Chains A and B, each alone.
Chain A
Amino acid sequence: MQDALTALVLGSTYVLLAVGLSMIYGILRIIHVAHAGVYTIGAYVGYLAWDRTGSVWLALIGGMVAGALSGWLLYALMYRRLLEAPRYVPLIASIGAFIVIEDLLAKPWLMGSDRLAMQADPGLPTVRVLGATASPDALYVLVVTAALLLGLAVLFRRSDIGLQWRATASDRELAGASGVNVERAIASTFAVGSALAGAAGVTVAVYTESVFAFMGEVPSYKAFVIVVLGGLGAVLGPVVAAFVLAFAETMLIAQAGFVLPRDAIAFLILVIVLIVRPQGLFGTARA
């Protein structure tokens, strides 16, 4: 049972990153590698907020605001001018931006190249259910993820902007012709998706009790595994895929003593799934 709980927490950290990425892919069809840079920025600002105030909740808010801001800046300064270019152009630009963000964050006048310890106390109880123990840190991850996913679901299904997001994602031109402010829909998708990435960074920082400049490296590619498994651009797909992957990784390592490391497992699953279902686990075939 403890393994199941570990997988649930791991899946929660994946899900916040992957959902934002999937929203952005859904609306612009760009492979936004720099999303993981946004995640690290969120974690770092969260760390700074916690360092000054001692509150993990202010850290969360700080990380989300920083995430939203940096994601929006990436769109406004970089992607907006690349929308008409061939598909590989924004991809290369995104990789370039991620390298810049990571390299600058690792400078001594920002995070430096070492781990910064973050022994935060969320002020939550330790919970025992069905023989598994959830530490306060784990509980923090679960609570934040559940709350944000719920909020996102309401935003998507019940609000005007959610409707505009869905309209723009399904057909940008038609949405524009029907009176949707496409520019605003795209910018706000970036802001909200990136705020979720910032939140993911802060929850991982609290759970692993540290932040470091290269913490985005593995998540950047793993989040894509989840988004692809989830069917590229869907919103529910990545949520399911994140937990499936987390459970598969945890169980393979804990039970079977699999020889390859966790990250290779994710890609092995990806390649196998794509051979069987080229459109992802939950994707619908597109022409």
Chain B
Amino acid sequence: MANAGLKRVDLIFDQVNVKEILEKTLKKEPEEIIQDILDSGLRGRGGAGFPTGLKWKYTATEKDPVKYIVCNADEGEPGTFKDRQILDEVPRKVFGGMAVASKAIGAKTGYIYLRGEYKFLVPKIEEELEVFHHILKELKHDFTIHLRLGCGAYICGEESALFESIEGFRGEPRNKPPYPTSFGLFGKPTSINNVETLVYAFMICRIGVKRFHDLGTKDSRGSKVFSVSGDTPKAGIYELELGMTVERFVEEFGDGDTKAVQVGGASGFCVPRKKFSDTIIGFEGVPTGGSMKLFNSSRSMYNVLHNYLDFFSEESCGQCTPCRIGCQQLLLGIQAVKKGEKNSRYLDELIKLAGTMKLASKCGLGQSVGNAFKSIVENFKEEIIY
């Protein structure tokens, strides 16, 4: 069920007294903190949408004395640029979220994995971290955050590949199960959360469960930060209540000639104009880590799809055949159809291949390529062929 419309929210970028919120929250029992986050309905804001309270609960129940909280700041999904702004404007709220998580799950160490493309943020983050560690000392909470840098690999945004990278290896995803909550960083129980998720968790400690829970819809509680780009006069970062339709979104952000919206980046879904009113932006419809890209009628959807497939072919870690070869074959396939070397019915074969990749790929990258592929090919068939 979509909600009424487009509502701006101001939870993320609002400057708050981090020390005060921490002082109040760290006095609570871990179980109480976890129950609050569970009751709030907060789901991961990086794109996958796993219930944050559950993730913390599973990690908390593990018996290992060594546990980790990891902040995934490897924002690499095309069209996503909101974590950069969050880390730049309110880094202490991110650290605050990590500290609350550390109390909830029983971790003494945290890592922030920051993508290499955001290296220019390091001086500020290090400065803020120093201040934050002082605050923790004053509050007598034993928790230290380390900063690690990525090095130009989209796949390191995948949780297990991220752990591999911190551990000093190639960023190749692991088999799951076991899941990070039982076997994560350095093989220890780990809760890995997106930058934005951690800030929301922190803010729920301040505003209370009800105020967050009352926003959004039954399946998509709360609000989210969206990064809007493409054919729009309002490109930028916006915090909005979850659950609006794509139609309402386009009314606000379109340029009057929007023919498609790519929700969720290259690994997301392309929503064509005819489906705008039926599609909800949220976990019950098309989920997103924030990336919202608008295309007007001047754009070639063949070009868009080509760009995405080129992206995946390059960023695939290469370890599993369905993804490594699949991405390449999808790209070669649409090129061949365009050139007339293959009949347009070949597209049906490619759609089957994308389906195989979804079932057989080792990680979310290979499993998601089919989302954009299918949604663009099915809705813009003529542009792909001619």
Asked if A and B are interacting partners, one says no
Query: Which B residues have a C-beta under 8 Å from some C-beta of A?
Result: none
